[in-house]
Amino acid sequence: MKNNRWSIVQRRGGKLVRSFAPSEHDTPPWRAGSGDAGATVARVLFVCVENSNRSQMAEAFARVRGAGVLDAQSAGSSPSGTVSPRAIEAMAELGCDLSSHTSKGLSEVGSGPFDYVITMGCGDACPSVKAACREDWTLPDPRSMSDEEFRAVRDEIARRVDELVERVRSSRSQSC
């Protein structure tokens, strides 16, 4: 869809920063909506280092809980090549099947633009990925945690994905 040129300005560290100035052929993030016919979904990329645990779980939750609202992908800055068996097991407990997911690198998901790029607390800035909105969820790496702690991280990811879905669903303006 062709529209007028637009850009996003967001506050970072007390300063207003232009974070994205797409071409006139791009659809702005505030077109993301409730999944109604004709509504555009928000493109979301969840990024972690290995794309093995947190970002994989976030992608799965976003695909299931954000169907019609979010178009979710995940990637790693240094992918491990496999999805963690613990992540597969933890998500299976909630009825989400990660067994067919693969660990992928940033180059495998394209350069964007994305409406949201969400890092999972691993310090990845992802400067090569164009995004209107960037968030860092600052989640601990559950790789070496007990099963109970691993589930707590999983559940926190689910809560934050639910918040993102509601934010996108209810907002028609830039909401970073």
Residue 9 lies in a domain: no
- Which of 120, 45, 53 is CA-nearest to residue 82? 53
When pLDDT is averaged across residues 115-120 and rounded to a whole number, the result is 93
Cβ–Cβ < 8 Å for 109, 126: no
Q: Where are the alpha helices (DSSP H) in 26-146?
A: 54-65, 85-92
Q: How far apart are the first and last CA of the chain?
A: 23
Would the pLDDT of 39 be above 80?
no
Question: Considering the domain boundaries, does residue 27 fall inside one?
Answer: no
Q: Is 23 domain-assigned?
A: no
- CATH number of 72's domain: 3.40.50.2300
Please check whether residue 160 lies inside any domain of the structure. Answer: yes
Q: Is the peptide bond before 85 cis (omega within 30 degrees of 0)?
A: no
Residue 17 lies in a domain: no
Structure tokens, 29: 């993030």
Q: Which residue has tokens 């990925």? A: 129
Catalytic residues: 48, 122, 126
Q: What is the pLDDT of residues 4-17, one digit of tens each?
A: 323 333 333 443 33
Residue 37 lies in a domain: no
How far, in Å, CA of 86 to CA of 79, rounded? 16
Domain range for 74 is 51-169
**DSSP secondary structure code for residue 122 in this structure:** S
> Domains in the chain: how many in total?
1
Rg of the chain on CA atoms, in Å: 16
56 occurs within a structural domain: yes
pLDDT tens track for 76-100:
988 999 999 999 999 999 999 999 9
